[in-house]
């Protein structure tokens, strides 16, 4: 089945996958108020993908934050806050995609309810982050008050970490930065949808953008929760069912699995290679980053 796939479409998918990684790196630079370099963000992100592919529980997230903090000379908690904002933008974007494709599909009510829940959670998360920045002084005083009441808490460290987090959230309240971040988020997810559309076209010449979009949304929701290394198992199951259940008339189970496995290999191999090159480009090693992760504390 895979041997019969159109290789030109697969090559285009690889190029688009790389373009999506670049767009995400640029978004990160914007969220850091241009205090980091695109080169560092790109390779740090590659290292993050590598650690996520090798270790469970999305260990690539702290790895990339640690490296970017080191390269940009910014506090770790501030960089971590920008990564949190990234994830909120990701969820909001995929919810938007889901809302746009649902009218063109016949899906179970559970899927629609899930979309509404994620939309509500995204709105709540964005509102919370904006309020945290808007009322930063009040939140700091509240934390100090709580820490005094609970004497075992390290009040000074907690308040310092919170200040660094709030600085990382600040771009959300700056209209120009927020709009640019949203623009790069849309570009990144558009590249992802285009990648999956190309993979679908390699197997199914009349594949549509709707099918690719729904597959991307389903996979994005599935890998939101930390799971196995490289999302192995979860990716394959969800990807296959995202094609078979709503588009069963066009995709048989075997074809859907071949498509999913091909998409997975493109993602896994490309991001792993980027991570290996990133370690070399940044003068790091796998073992060194692992040791840094094990001993690094917030605020250092």
Whether 82 shows a pLDDT value over 80: the answer reads: yes
Mean pLDDT of 224-243: 90
Whether 17 shows a pLDDT value over 90: the answer reads: yes
Whether 114 shows a pLDDT value over 90: the answer reads: no
At 89-107, the pLDDT tens digits run: 998 899 899 889 988 887 6
Mean pLDDT of 219-229: 85
> Is residue 300 domain-resident?
no
Mean pLDDT of 163-170: 84
The confidence score (pLDDT) of residue 73 equals 92
At 178-223, the pLDDT tens digits run: 999 999 999 999 999 999 999 999 999 999 999 999 999 999 988 8
Per the listing, tokens 């390779």 go with: 43
Whether 88 shows a pLDDT value over 70: the answer reads: yes
Whether 299 shows a pLDDT value over 50: the answer reads: no
pTM: 0.90
The confidence score (pLDDT) of residue 111 equals 66
> Is residue 253 domain-resident?
yes
Query: Which one has a higher pLDDT value, 299 or 261?
Result: 261
Say how far apart CA 82 and CA 41 lie, in whole Å: 12
Whether 297 shows a pLDDT value over 70: the answer reads: no
- When the pLDDT of each residue in the chain is averaged and rounded to a whole number, the result is 89
User: Residue 34's pLDDT band (boundaries 50, 70, 90)?
Assistant: confident
At 236-273, the pLDDT tens digits run: 999 999 999 899 889 999 999 999 999 999 999 999 99
Whether 1 shows a pLDDT value over 70: the answer reads: no
Say how far apart CA 180 and CA 192 lie, in whole Å: 18
Print the domain residue range for 154.
Answer: 2-295
Number of structural domains the chain divides into: 1
Say how far apart CA 122 and CA 221 lie, in whole Å: 13
Mean pLDDT of 230-239: 93
Distance of CA 296 to the CA centre of its chain: 23
- Taking Cα atoms as reference points, which of 219, 200, 220 lies closest to residue 210? 200
Query: Which one has a higher pLDDT value, 130 or 231?
Result: 231
User: Residue 159's pLDDT band (boundaries 50, 70, 90)?
Assistant: confident
């Amino acid at each position: 089945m895979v041997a019969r796939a159109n290789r030109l479409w697969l090559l285009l998918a690889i190029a688009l996958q790389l373009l999506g990684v670049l767009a995400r790196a640029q978004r990160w630079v914007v969220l850091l108020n241009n205090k980091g370099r695109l080169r560092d963000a790109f390779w740090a992100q590659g290292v993050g993908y590598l650690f996520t592919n090798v270790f469970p529980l999305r260990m690539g997230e702290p790895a990339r934050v640690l490296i970017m903090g080191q390269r940009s000379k910014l506090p770790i908690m501030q960089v971590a806050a920008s990564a949190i904002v990234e994830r909120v933008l990701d969820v909001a974007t995929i919810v938007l995609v889901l809302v746009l494709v649902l009218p063109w599909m016949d899906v179970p009510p559970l899927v629609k309810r899930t979309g509404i829940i994620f939309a509500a959670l995204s709105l709540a998360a964005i509102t919370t982050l904006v309020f945290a920045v808007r009322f930063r002084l009040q939140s700091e005083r509240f934390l100090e008050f709580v820490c005094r009441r609970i004497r075992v808490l390290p009040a000074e460290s907690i308040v310092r970490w919170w200040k660094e987090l709030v600085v990382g959230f600040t771009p959300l309240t700056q209209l120009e930065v927020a709009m640019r971040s949203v623009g790069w988020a849309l570009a990144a997810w558009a590249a992802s949808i285009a990648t999956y559309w190309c993979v679908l076209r390699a197997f199914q010449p009349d594949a549509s953008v709707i099918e690719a979009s729904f597959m991307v949304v389903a996979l994005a929701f599935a890998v939101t929760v930390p799971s196995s290394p490289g999302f192995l198992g979860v990716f394959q199951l969800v990807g296959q069912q995202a094609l078979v259940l709503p588009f069963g008339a066009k995709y048989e189970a075997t074809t859907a699995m071949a498509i999913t496995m091909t998409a997975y290999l493109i993602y896994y191999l490309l991001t792993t290679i980027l991570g290996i090159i990133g370690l070399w480009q940044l003068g790091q090693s796998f073992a060194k980053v692992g040791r840094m992760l094990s001993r690094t504390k917030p605020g250092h």
